[in-house]
Structures are given as structure tokens and as C-alpha cells.
Amino acid sequence: MTIEKVRKNKEFQVLYAGMKDRAIDLGKIASSSDIIFDALRDEIINGNLKAGESIRQEYIAKIFNVSRIPVREALKRLEAQGLVKNERYKGAIVSSLSDDEIAEIFEIRRNLEPLVLKYSIENMTQETLELARKYCDAFGAEEDSSKWGDLNRQFHETLYRDCQRPYHLKIIGEAIDRIDSYIRAQLVLTKGMGTAIKEHTEILNACEKGDADRAAALTHKHIADSYSSLMGYLRKKSKD
């Protein structure tokens, strides 16, 4: 199949529409697998590639004008992070999570993120606080729901960045990657923005006052509230 025929394929257009802006000729770039990994990861997290959908290696290779080798390397990394799994006769598909897996990931977040925030407050700079305030305000003012997820994550990651615990941040980042699409859905589908805006503001106010214990407690509650709201929605949806 020629590249032009692939681009006219309806399934291809729908499934990979979000990647067109990132599609460049990587034929001579050594780090092509890294760029493909980042592109696929973002599409999964954003929900453009949904749970259970196949990732066609030949399509990805043609988009980026590379062989299948860097595509396979990118898919192996995604599989290691749990974002993709290989199924017999189907190949690589976007992973889905069971209720128990979602619960465990939120448990990791509830336990680790408040701790990391306490460490961060010990070293938090004025620059970090100002950037966090910027994201907090932007999150509250944003009317485009497609941007809520990114602003939400940027806000939290900014507050954690001064913790001086790179391994903690790696675990948190990978945990959030697994459920980021669920968090985005929770904000949009459960009308969770009002609660999130209020809780973000309270957390940031505590950080600005240097009250690490209160900020940690509020973060724990914020994550717990998000989990309860998400599971309530998913259980209701399964009964419909």
C-alpha cells in the first residue's frame, strides 16, 4: 500500500488524526523511536487512542517514514509502562485497566504525592509558586475542556518539582500515565471542574504559606475525591 492510499484510509484518518502535526520525516534521525514513543504516549494519554484499539505498526512507520524497527522499539517501551499490551492475532493494542488496577494506582498516588509535596515545600522557590499559580489560574479560567487535563497535570507536577526525589517523581509520572485518560474523563464527564478548582486553590494557598502538613492532607483528599468521582461514573456507566 502506498503512503497516499494509507493516508486516505478512513480508519487511519480517525485513529491517527491527532498525530499528523507531529509527523515528520525521521528517516535520518537516530532518536526516531523516542519521538514515536512520545507521540504514541501522548495520543494514549489524551484518549485519542482508546483502550482496546490496535496500533498498526505499518501505519506508524509510514507516517514517520521509517522502518518498523523504531516503531517496535517504541511499542516495547510503551508496553513496559503498561500503556500497550500485545495480544495474539491482534498485535499491539492500547491497554485497559480493571477496577482493581485503577484502585491500586490511585492508592499509590494518595500515599506518594502528599509525601513528595511535603519534600517539595521544604525547597520550594518563589519561581515554582508563581508558575503553579499561573497553571492554577489558567485551569480555573479555561473553557476548552480538551485543555483541562494538561493544565491539571502541569499544576501538580510544578508543585512537586522541588522535592529532590527523582525516583519518587518517576513512579508518580508512570502511575499518572496509566490513568491520565481516566483523570481527563473524570474532569469532563463528572462535572468535576468546580471541585478541582477549589481544591487546587486550597493546596496552592497552603504551599504559599509553607504549611506542608495541610498541603499534604489536602492533596490526599483531592486524589481520593477524584477517585471516588471517577469510580462512581464508571460504575454508573457499566449499568446503563
Domains 3-94 and 99-239 share a fold: no
Cα distances from 10 to residues 13, 15, 46, 108, in angstroms, run 5, 9, 20, 40
What burial class does residue 159 get, using C-beta atoms within 10 Å of its C-beta: 0-12 exposed, 13-18 middle, 19+ buried? Answer: buried
Q: What is the pTM of this model?
A: 0.72
Supply the angle between the helices 99-123 and 193-208 in degrees, to the nearest 10.
30
Three-class SS of residue 79? helix
Q: In degrees rounded to 5, what are phi and psi of residue 84?
A: -135, 150
Residue with cell 520550594: 124
Rounded Cα distance between 142 and 104, Å, is 30
pLDDT tens sequence across 197-221: 999 999 999 999 999 999 999 999 9
In this prediction, residue 6 carries a pLDDT of: 47
CATH architecture of the domain with range 99-239 = Up-down Bundle (1.20)
**What CATH number should be reported for the domain whose range is 3-94?**
1.10.10.10
Which portions of the chain are predicted below pLDDT 50? 1-3, 6-7, 29
Rounded Cα distance between 213 and 219, Å, is 10
pLDDT tens sequence across 79-94: 877 788 888 878 899 8
Instruction: Indicate the domain borders of the chain.
Output: 3-94, 99-239
Q: Which three cell numbers stand for residue 110?
A: 494518595
